[in-house]
């Protein structure tokens, strides 16, 4: 199914291939059959290591090996109290590292936002809200502004639909979609009759047939490619491993020399001398180094998670800090995709606007003085117009961050109106001409 070129098919052919109907959708029995065949509409996760293996991995360090060897020697010498002390040091170090790694992993739980939580579908001829994870190929999905697209869809209806596809293409500008059949060799970025999982509807409305779910979607293929990338050791892990080996060799070598020197030139009992040397090794080894590194990296990961920067593993925190050059071929790839009004040009005046982003924090200034909107009818009319002929809305998300629903260009104008020192109202519209790329404007008729 995933290999079929849905963008090159008529709508009727897509319906036939997927055994669905645009008006009535899938039946309950068809949905159940599809779920058994294709599974849940979720990106596959790599198999997680069991907890016992995560704990044992804390002992995989050269310094720890030396301590464990010292513990074995104390057992041979029947100094069990020393054995217990050494093993307690090793165990405490492992427990600290284990809990810090778990804490870092929990900071990432719940951040699965590539698929929307719920979708509007047509099943058994009725419009329903269902969990996106329950979608199957053949489902009829309805889209509206602000929706995250839950699966790869072949569009059957597209009314002034624009979609933001940066997760797939890296382009910051939204793409206008349609339902026209496309040539067989059309590349991914030009498949305008398809809507892809993980992208978002900016404006317009649409209806589409689910063509692929889960790992079979385009973003699922990207996920699979990432999983197949060979893992390399980070600079920090390489340096730590090298440091651990060097310091272990140095400590053991010095201890061996002291043992030989004392045995040759002083009449110490061999067992007692060996115990002294072991004590020296245990005291000299920085056994807390792995735990300290885990704590520092865990704290860094949690701070970055709070700022919406997600790290897949602890060493990545240090790797990001070691980056000196970032090469990119697109400006839109590295921007926040936010627009801000910096100035206003009226018929005979130039006004400055302070503040950045979508947060309505700033002022409208003329000659560095804030303008009283109530006394400036021209500016008041301008702000009322840009707010009225506008499909975007400003709101706060769950993290109390200001975001918009709609196009960035329209969103920045809503923010501009909110920066006025008095409330600006949207005028009641009798009719509206929506924005279209062919004539590049939006207009409205007010009462």
Q: Find, among 225, 174, 172, the residue nearest to 203 by Cα.
A: 174
Distances (CA, A) of 183 to 9, 10, 155, 161, 165: 9, 12, 16, 21, 21
Structure-token pair, residue 423:
């409330």
Q: What pairing do the DSSP bridges indicate for beta strands 402-405 and 393-396?
A: antiparallel
Structure-token pair, residue 443:
């207009």
- Cβ-based burial of 218 (10 A; exposed 0-12, middle 13-18, buried ≥19): buried
Residues 282, 270: Cα–Cα separation, whole Å: 18
Q: DSSP code of 26?
A: B
CB atoms within 10 A of CB 422: 9
Whether the Cβ atoms of residue 159 and residue 205 lie closer than 8 Å to each other: yes
Residues 295, 206: Cα–Cα separation, whole Å: 48
Residues 7, 227: Cα–Cα separation, whole Å: 27
What crossing angle do the helices spanning 377-388 and 408-418 adopt, rounded to 10°? 140
What crossing angle do the helices spanning 235-265 and 289-306 adopt, rounded to 10°? 170
Residues 143, 159: Cα–Cα separation, whole Å: 10
Structure-token pair, residue 214:
């889960």
How big is the chain, counted in residues?
Answer: 447
Indicate which residue of 329, 367, 397, 399 is catalytic. Answer: 329
Distances (CA, A) of 444 to 221, 302, 407: 43, 48, 17
End-to-end CA distance of the chain: 53
β-sheet bridge partners, residue 353: 364
Whether the Cβ atoms of residue 299 and residue 317 lie closer than 8 Å to each other: no
190 among known catalytic residues = no
Residues 182, 186: Cα–Cα separation, whole Å: 7
Whether the Cβ atoms of residue 232 and residue 313 lie closer than 8 Å to each other: no
Residue labelled with tokens 């309950």? 28
Whether the Cβ atoms of residue 373 and residue 366 lie closer than 8 Å to each other: no
Residue labelled with tokens 């404006």? 203
Q: Which sequence positions are flagged as catalytic?
A: 329
């Amino acid at each position: 199914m995933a290999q079929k070129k849905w963008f090159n098919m008529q709508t009727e052919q897509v319906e036939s291939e997927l055994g669905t109907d645009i008006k009535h959708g899938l039946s309950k029995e068809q949905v159940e059959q599809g779920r058994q065949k294709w599974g849940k509409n979720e990106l596959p996760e790599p198999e997680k290591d069991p907890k016992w293996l995560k704990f044992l991995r804390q002992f995989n360090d050269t310094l720890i090996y030396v301590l464990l060897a010292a513990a074995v020697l104390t057992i041979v010498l029947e100094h069990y109290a020393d054995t217990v002390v050494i093993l307690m040091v090793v165990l405490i170090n492992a427990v600290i590292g284990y809990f810090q790694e778990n804490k870092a992993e929990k900071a990432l739980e719940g951040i699965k936002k590539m698929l929307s939580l719920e979708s509007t579908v047509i099943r058994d001829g009725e419009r329903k809200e269902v969990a996106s994870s329950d979608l199957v190929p053949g489902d009829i999905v309805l889209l509206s502004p602000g929706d995250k697209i839950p699966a790869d869809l072949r569009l059957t209806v597209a009314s002034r639909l624009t979609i933001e596809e940066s997760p797939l293409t890296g382009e910051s500008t939204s793409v206008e979609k349609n339902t026209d059949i496309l040539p067989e060799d059309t590349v991914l970025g030009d498949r305008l009759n398809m809507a892809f999982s993980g992208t978002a509807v900016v404006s317009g409305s649409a209806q589409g047939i689910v063509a692929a779910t889960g790992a079979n979607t385009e973003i699922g293929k990207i996920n699979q490619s990432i999983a197949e990338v060979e893992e390399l050791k980070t600079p920090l892990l390489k340096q730590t491993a090298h440091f651990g080996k060097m310091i272990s060799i140095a400590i053991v070598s010095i201890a061996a020399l002291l043992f030989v020197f004392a045995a040759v030139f002083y009449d110490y009992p061999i067992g007692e001398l060996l115990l002294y040397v072991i004590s020296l090794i245990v005291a000299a080894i920085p056994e807390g180094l792995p735990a300290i590194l885990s704590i520092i990296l865990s704290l860094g990961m949690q701070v970055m998670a709070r700022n919406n920067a997600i790290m897949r593993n602890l060493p990545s925190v240090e790797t990001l800090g070691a980056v000196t050059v970032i090469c990119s071929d697109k400006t839109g790839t590295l921007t926040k995709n936010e627009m801000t009004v910096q100035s206003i040009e009226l018929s005979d005046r130039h006004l400055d606007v302070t503040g950045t982003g979508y947060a309505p924090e700033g002022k409208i200034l003329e000659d560095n003085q804030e303008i009283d909107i109530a006394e400036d009818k021209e500016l008041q009319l301008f702000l009322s117009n840009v707010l009225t002929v506008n499909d975007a809305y400003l709101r706060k998300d769950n993290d109390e961050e200001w975001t918009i629903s709609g196009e960035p260009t329209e969103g920045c104008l809503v923010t501009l109106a909110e920066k006025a020192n008095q409330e600006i109202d949207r005028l009641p519209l009798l009719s509206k001409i929506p924005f279209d790329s062919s004539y590049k404007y939006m207009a409205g008729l007010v009462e």
